[in-house]
Each structure stands twice: as structure tokens, then as C-alpha cells.
Structure 1
Amino acid sequence: MSTPHNNAEKGQIASTVLMPGDPLRAKFIAENYLENPVCFNQVRGMLGYTGTWQGQPVSVMGHGMGMPSIGIYSYELFAFYDVEKIIRVGSAGALQPQLDLGDIVLAQGACTDSNYAAQYGLPGAFAPIGDFRLLRKAAAVADSKGLRCQIGNVCSSDVFYDANPDSAEKWRSMGVLCTEMECAALYMNAARLGKRALGILTISDIIGDEHRALTAEERQTSFGNMIQLALDTALSE
């Protein structure tokens, strides 16, 4: 069995998948956190691996940038490979002053400027939310580890270089914690297919202050906290 974007065979992918945007980060996670990782996908360079964490099977696979990309990869994992849980692990830009570089955000909900939900023909606006059991467990694990962590709404945007200079301020005024580009589509796919999903994000930069961003070394440490939190969340809830 394979799909147009994944050449894995049925059974090669665990029921729990961590998904960073960058396929090379998926490779890094597999080689540095999982035991006995085996590569199951190389189509279009979107690397995927399955190994074990604390003796339990877990997979990690890149999802690319933006909602169309994660929409494809997460849909195929949910619909064709019997994946039950996907946790996105990625970076985000802070909107609120209480957030600092390296902080973790658990995406309780995902606002969006995307038209992704139009495919469902709903008679209103759909509100994409993360899985509560995963959210509750992630919050408990983060607290036990003493991590700086906030929970709330994020904004999943289709636009990285925004022509509207007021966009960030408008989302900020509604209490949205940070911006990223994928959680809303992941949550909609999970809802449509009866699966479970959560976004765990690390603040890598401050929107409106281009001089405040994580260095390469700081990213390594902060992202390590996020990855371990995601693994502990997925396998212990």
C-alpha cells in the first residue's frame, strides 16, 4: 500500500505520529530520540521514521509548510495508515507580551485566515480545536517538568509575508497567543476523520520585533523541551 506522497506499507507507521514542518528535523528527532528508527518514507524528500520511545512504537514525519501541505500528509496518515494521534511540533511567532522566546504554547484552538474549511460546505464557521485529552496531558507533563507553557488560541495563517501590516495587531487584540501556519488544517482533518490532534509550539520569534529571535543553539535546547514534552504526552495519556 502507498499513497501519492508516502511509500510506506501498512503497518510501518505507528498509531502515534509527531510531525515537525522540516523533514530534516524529523530525521533529527528519529536519530536522537527514538530507539532503532527505520525510515518509511522518502517521497518528495518528506522523511518519515518509526522507532520506539520508552519501549512504545512512535513515528515522526515532516509535514512541510502551510495548511495545504500538512493537510495532505496528515490526511493520508489518518485515512490510509490507521494513525490515531498526530502531534505537531513546530515554531511560532509570539503576539502577546507575556510570551518570551523559548516558551511553549499548547494550541487549544486555531483561528485561521484560510479557506480550508470551505470544502466541508458547512452552514457556518467551524472552530478548529485540539484534542482535550492530549491537551490536558500535555499541560500536566509541562507543569511537572517546570516548563514555561501557556494554553490558548493560535492563528494558523496562509500568509508568511503579509501585505496587511495590521493583521498581527488585530489577532493580538483578540487574545490570540501566537501565529503559525498549520494547526487549523490538522485539527480539521482530525475532526473530519474522527481522530485526535494537538499542536505543541515553541516561540522562536516575537512578532513586531525582528531583533528578538532564537539563536541556533537556543532553538536546539528549546525544541528539545518541546519534543520530549510531545513524546511524553503522546505515550502516557
Structure 2
Amino acid sequence: MTLKAPTHHISAKPGEFAETVLMPGDPLRAKSIAENYLENVRQINEIRCMYAYTGTYKGKPVSVMAHGIGTPSMTVHAYELFKLYDVQNIIRVGTTGGISPELKIRDVVIAMGACYDTNYINQYNLKGTFSAIPSFSLLRKAVESAESLGIEYKVGNILTTDIFYPEDKNSQLKWKDMGVLSVEMETAALYIVAAAEKKNALSLLTVSDHIITGEKTTAEERQSSFTNMIEVALEML
């Protein structure tokens, strides 16, 4: 199958995405980022409400696009952005559930690696176990950006899972004994696609709830108030 842009999932024309795309899961967070941080904004996608925008931040071009929930949605959009739109860098700006006692609500996590229980990697027919890691250049920029802004952060390993409601309620907590900080549903898949396409990827995450303490933020907070990770991402440009 020969792919070309626009696609069934992205209606933007070639050249309408910047080289760097920020990707939250929530379409309303994408809209909020575009409206509150970017200048000269234009909407370039609304298929399936996966809103995408391109504008500038401090004069530098940047795009923002929602990726939805889970590995399938993330990989479809990331693959097409890398493959068809010449996107070089995808920075996920999403939420994560804390499992480490070191974390508290609203902490920023920079994902240095992603353990996973998704089968997405199987299509590559590797004879071993692939390590899902980010691009070091983006990781270094994120740390430098956070420190320049005075924003506290944690760098470490996270877990990407395909299961939001596990039958074994303790299954995700077992990962904390291996130093895993938090759990979410997309990062490992993003890192795998980026590696296969020889592009760059990083996940900046905000702790929206904590599995141990039971604390959680509201949907409204997740859409509009997780500003620290967004500012870190934008200052990386």
C-alpha cells in the first residue's frame, strides 16, 4: 500500500506540520495549548476530533496534535507524521498515573525509558527484547529546559500498558519495586515508532493521579492546567 498525505486520519497537506510536534492525548488539551501559547495559529486537522494546529512560539514554528488513547491511536498518528509529513521530533505531553512513593500529584516526569506490555513491537520480528528509549538530544534539552525554568522534575523509567482497568489490581504496583515511576498507555509505542523511522521522540508527563494514595485531578485540570510540562516542551524548541 502506497501512503501519501492527506490520509484517512490526518487531513493536513504536506508542509503544514512543523518539524516538532507536541502531542497530548486529549484533543481539548491540544486546543488549549494552541490557543494559550502559540501565535499565528491555524487549525490543520479535525478528523475524528484529533485536533492539530501549527503556529509559532517565540518566533519558532511548532505544531500540536492530539494522539488519543493507547498504542493503536498513538502509533497511527506518529507513523503518519514521521513518514508522510517530514516531522522530525514528537514530544508527548501527557498524563501518567504515579506508582512510585517519590511522586506526588502534578509532578513532571521525563521518561528516560518505557517498560511495556504491548504487542506492537512483535511486527518487527526481533530475536530479543527491544528497549524503548527516547532520543538523548531531546532528553537533554528537556532537563536543561526544566532547570532553566526552575521546574522540578523526575527522570526515570515508566510503564506503558494496553490495559487501563487491570483485573489484577496490584499488577501495575509490582513495577515500582523495579524503580518504575508511573504508568500510562502510549510512550513505549511512540519510542518504538521513532526508532523504526529514525526520528526523535520524548515523553514529558504530568502525574494526574496516584495509584497508591488514590489522589487524582479533575478532567478540567488535565485539559488546561498542566502548564509546567507544556512550558518545558516549548522552551526546548
* TM bracket (short chain): over 0.9
Name the counterpart of 1:102. 106
- Aligned counterpart, 2:228: 225
The normalised TM-score by structure 1 is 0.95
How far the C-alpha of 1:220 sits from its partner, in A, is 6.6
Q: Is 1:48 aligned to 2:52, yes or no?
A: yes
CA–CA separation in structure 1 for the residues paired with 2:77 and 2:154 = 27
Aligned 1:163-178 pairs, distance under 5 A:
163-178=167-182
Among 128, 134, 137, the alignment partner of 1:133 is: 137
In the TM superposition, what is the alpha-carbon distance from 1:87 to its structure 2 partner? 0.1
Given that 2:32 and 2:224 are in contact with CA atoms closer than 8 Å, whether structure 1 keeps it comes out as no
Q: Superposed, which structure 2 residues align to 1:107-186 within 5 Å?
A: 107-186=111-190
Name the SS of the counterpart of 1:213 in structure 2: coil
Deviations 1:52-108 (A, max 9, x none): 001011000000000110000000000000000000001111111111111100001
| CA distance in 1 between partners of 2:69 and 2:222 (Å) | 18
Structure 2 runs not aligned, ≥5 long: none
What residue ranges of structure 1 are gaps of 5+ in the alignment?
none
What amino acid is the match of 1:227?
Answer: I
* Contact persistence 1:92–1:202 (CA under 8 A): yes
Cα contact 2:29–2:224 (8 A) shared by 1: no
SS of the residue aligned with 1:209? coil
Q: 1:164 to 1:20 in 2, by over 3 A?
A: same
Relative distance call for 1:216 and 1:113 in structure 2 (3 A) is: closer
The residue aligned with 1:93 is 97
Residue of structure 2 aligned with 1:76, choices 61, 77, 80: 80
How far, CA to CA, are the matches of 1:216 and 1:23 in structure 2?
A: 12
SS state at 1:39 partner: strand
Q: Match of 1:113, as an amino acid?
A: D
Aligned to 1:57: 61
Name the structure 2 match of 1:30.
34
> What percentage of aligned pairs have identical amino acids?
54
Q: 1:218: how far off? A: 5.5
CA distance in 2, matches of 1:213, 1:162: 18
What secondary structure, in the 3-state scheme, does the structure 2 residue paired with 1:122 have? coil
Correspondence for 1:213? 216
Give the AA of the match of 2:138.
L
Tell me the number of residue pairs that the alignment of Structure 1 and Structure 2 aligns.
233
Q: Give the drift of 1:27.
A: 0.9
Shift of 1:169: 2.2
Superposed displacement of residue 166, structure 1? 2.3
1:25 offset after TM fit, Å?
Answer: 1.0
Kept after mapping to 2: 8 A contact 1:102/1:222:
no
1:143, CA displacement in angstroms?
Answer: 1.5
Compute the displacement of 1:208 (Å).
2.7
Shifted more, 212-221 versus 158-167: the winner is 212-221
Output the CA distance in 1 between the equivalents of 2:57 and 2:235.
9
Q: Which residue of 2 aligns with 1:39?
A: 43
Cα root mean square deviation, aligned = 1.4
